Amino acid sequence: MGENMVILFDRFNLPEDVFEIVFPTERQQVVAKLLIKRMQEQGGIIGKTEMSMFAQKLHDGQLVDDRPELGPLRKESNQLSYNKRQFYDRILTPMKSMGMIDFDLYKKHYIVSDKFNKYMIRIGLLWLRQLKRS
C-alpha cells in the first residue's frame, strides 16, 4: 500500500489558501502553486516531457517565482530552487494521490483535476455515515 497524505487543519483558523492546508512548508506551497499556474497557462494540461523540464528548471534554480501576490515590493531574487526528486516525491505524487492532478497514461500528460473536491466531499459523507452508526 502507498504512503498516505495527512491533512491537519484547525477549523477555527482555516487559511484561505488550500495549499497552506495541504503542504506543510512554505516552499512546497510555492512550488505547488507555480506548478498549477504553469499548467493552467497551458489549458490545464502539460505533457510528461514538460513536467520533467519544469522539475529540472526547479532543480537547477532556473524557475522564477512570479506569483502576483509577491507584488513589486519583493526586492531579493525570485529564483526558486527545489530538488527534482523531492519535487516528484513531495509535490507531484501527493497532488496526484489527492486528486489535484491526474496523469493520462495513454496520452502521457498531466491534467489539473477537480477530484480533490470530490474526495473531500466523500470524506465528509463517510463522517456522517459514521455518526449514524455510532
- The identity of residue 1, as a single letter, is M
Q: Which CATH architecture has domain 16-133?
A: Orthogonal Bundle (1.10)
Q: If pLDDT is split at 50, 70 and 90, which confidence band does 8 have?
A: confident
Model pTM above 0.85: yes
Q: If pLDDT is split at 50, 70 and 90, which confidence band does 1 have?
A: very low
- For 84-121, write each residue's pLDDT tens digit: 999 999 999 999 999 999 999 999 999 999 999 999 99
**Structural contact between residues 82 and 32, judged by C-beta atoms closer than 8 angstroms:** no
User: Where are the domains positioned within the chain?
Assistant: 16-133
- For 21-59, write each residue's pLDDT tens digit: 999 999 999 999 999 999 999 999 999 999 999 999 999
